[in-house]
Amino acid sequence: MGSPHIATIVGARPQFIKSAPVSGALRAAGFTEALIHTGQHYSDALSAVFFREMQIPEPAFNLGVGSGPHGRQTGEMLRKIEELLEQVHPEMVLVYGDTNSTLAGALAAAKLHIPIHHVEAGLRSFNREMPEEHNRVLTDHCSDVLYCPTGTAVRNLAAEGIRRNVFCVGDTMLDALNQFAPIARNNSTLAASLELEPRGYVLATLHRPSNVDDPEGLRRICEGLNRLGLRVVFPAHPRTRQTLEGLSGDGGTGWRNILLLPPLGYLDMLALEESAAWIVTDSGGVQKEAYMLGVPCVTLRTETEWVETVDAGWNVLADPATADIEGAMQALRPQTRPDLFGDGRASQRIVERIAACLN
């Protein structure tokens, strides 16, 4: 490959999902893309499986940064991305979401005066204790073109003085879901192998340090899940699973209603989300997917960047400090589902804007 039109920087599971439909649309439009994987998520279950299932080309470069404290990880990514961008000379850099990979990519491009396009711009939880919030704000203020998933995101940027080159395009995760949900429905056999009945279980996902790093806090959450009366399917990161097994005192069987699983690929996860009675999560992406699939959601946080789903009655916040998940479920009032995240053509709009910028 000569100098690519676009260098796309990804590194974590949510970015693989968001970038898949855009990368496909870029290829269809004839653009060359150098996919740079920082290695922030590096296990097969959190990385390679998404490239296989979502038909994403293998990364042109894998920086292999791996885990570490936020500052060290971001700094190492910044150094390696800067060196690579100086070698490949892209015409623009495309970043997604709010991870350390996002911020490192944006900073490296800004230092080299390469135009930055940010997909999923304008999100705000207004909680500065979240590393993601710092990453969002700084990336948005570095970026030259900002693609917002919702009108709320556009208004958030305007309140910070960012009004030029801001486009409300919809959410690329809806594009991905529309493409892959039928495939998941027809091909995933996980629910059947676990003898799960449709609408007969709760799907739980937890990954935020504030929820999984404090053993007593995690115990409260699991006790809340265990009281629901339905089977709870909980795909857990190995580190979280180890903590849970230690808390139960018997290798995990003490949580009688909780079925611990390893992290899941995209298709299995979509299939379980679609058939669940409820979803309990602290993930921004899973909140959105629950809404898109019409499954009521309890978010174990005191705030969310996806306030539209709460306003629509399909999502409710539950304070992890009390973990009253059952009470939160009773407060949900799901009714109609407005098209909060666009019409499933966000990727095409992004590529059209990229074409206008590059031509």
Beta strands across the sheet bearing 92-96: 61-62, 33-37, 6-10, 92-96, 116-119, 145-148, 166-168
Cα(63)–Cα(216) distance, integer angstroms: 36
Cα(55)–Cα(118) distance, integer angstroms: 22
**Marked catalytic residue, from 37, 117, 134, 207:** 207
Cα(187)–Cα(184) distance, integer angstroms: 5
Minimal CA–CA distance to 166: which of 182, 174, 155? Answer: 155
Burial pattern 71-95, b for ≥16 Cβ within 10 A else e, equals eebbbbbbebbbebbeeeebbbbbb
For this structure, is 207 an active site residue? yes
Q: Strand 33-37 and strand 201-205: pairing?
A: unpaired
Minimal CA–CA distance to 122: which of 93, 150, 91? Answer: 150
Cα(296)–Cα(329) distance, integer angstroms: 8
CA 170 to chain centre: 15
- List, by residue number, the catalytic residues: 207
